[in-house]
Structure 1
């Protein structure tokens, strides 16, 4: 399962980097690929009001985010919720997955809004592409939610969770997040030929951001203690 997950993730990361090559320099991509600009995602459902995390939490998060492909994005999006996870890697993974799910739900809503107003303003607009993208993004949001629920069970069990339970939950979360990335990649690839319009550019950028968020969540799940 772990080998298959790594292979799937590597393929999807390749798709991601080739899709955004026009806006990402190769020198920066090796260190920490920049994120497209977009409004911040809504808070994860597990998060209380944003708080000022102590230095110990900030240091913990920096160390964990260094294991991801997007360490700056990882840190900036999760540090406001430091009071949720403190220095607990399970709760950090849960916060990352919940944030990803919330972001995907927001993106799904936005795609549906574009569909409702009649495509992307082109003759014979790509309505079928938008409808398919709306479905795949919505499915990705559901997969992220399932992953969050699975990690939440481990958090609730605490030290009472058995090794088998831990490995099973991590394996499920890895599988579902990898599938979510596949859905996001599909949406990006379908939208790419229509990228000349403002709406298409917005949706492609939003999907790329969602893929980065899913990548971060998957990396933090991979780093959970077994």
Structure 2
């Protein structure tokens, strides 16, 4: 059952990504919707950069905007997990570096799982929902996205202190900070969608 749900989620994410990338240039109206929605986020420039290519798929739908932002977060978190996993296979790592990398891989995996749960929950809101059902589903989404953001920050906490300073820490920080920014933006866009209901 879990594999079937994961497969359905993967197909949905690939559909969103494929639809957005295969469409023609977005209209000024849809592009402006993305920009205006992104202005409500903590990292508006990151938001516009990561979501403007999906403007045609998003149209002017706050629901689709939040769903696409979550899908982008899953993609970025998965890529970061893969990157950190590869770093963990380098020879000559210090014991503390190896442990921090291993913990980070676990945290990024948890982040991907929570973001995936959020997408599934948000997809359930595709049709008209009763207000009480809507609020319950959105509360789940907001909780899981917040938890994913905590996972991402916990990954970085493992590299605190001067003892781990260096290229590995800097590389991981760059990847994970970007994931945390798009996840923070996704949470803001989910909150914006919830407020419009």
Distance 1:64 1:201, change over 3 A: same
Q: 1:107 aligns with which of 80, 86, 105?
A: 80
Q: 1:135 aligns with which of 106, 114, 117?
A: 106
Partner of 1:192: 160
State whether structure 2 residue 150 is matched by structure 1 residue 177: no
Partner of 2:131: 163
Provide the secondary structure at the position in 1 that maps to 2:88: helix
Distance 2:80 2:101 in 1: 12
State whether structure 2 residue 76 is matched by structure 1 residue 98: no
Partner of 2:9: none
Is the 8 Å Cα contact of residues 177 and 214 (structure 1) preserved in structure 2?
Answer: yes
Is the 8 Å Cα contact of residues 195 and 204 (structure 1) preserved in structure 2?
Answer: no
Partner of 1:31: none
Cα displacement (A) at 1:128: 1.2
Distance 1:49 1:179 in 2: 27
Distance 1:123 1:217, change over 3 A: closer
State whether structure 2 residue 85 is matched by structure 1 residue 116: no
Cα displacement (A) at 1:125: 4.8
What RMSD, in angstroms, separates the aligned Cα atoms of the two structures?
1.5
Is the 8 Å Cα contact of residues 195 and 201 (structure 1) preserved in structure 2?
Answer: no
Provide the secondary structure at the position in 1 that maps to 2:165: coil
Is the 8 Å Cα contact of residues 97 and 164 (structure 2) preserved in structure 1?
Answer: no
In terms of fraction of residues, the more helix-rich structure is 2
TM-score, normalised to structure 2, is: 0.85
Q: Give the length in aligned residue pairs.
A: 178
Provide the secondary structure at the position in 2 that maps to 1:192: coil
Partner of 2:3: none
Gaps of 5+ in 2: 1-12
Distance 2:57 2:160 in 1: 37
Partner of 2:187: 218
Alignment of 1:38-57 (within 5 A): 44-45=13-14, 46-47=16-17, 48-50=19-21, 51=23, 52-57=25-30
Is the 8 Å Cα contact of residues 192 and 204 (structure 1) preserved in structure 2?
Answer: no
Cα displacement (A) at 1:59: 1.2
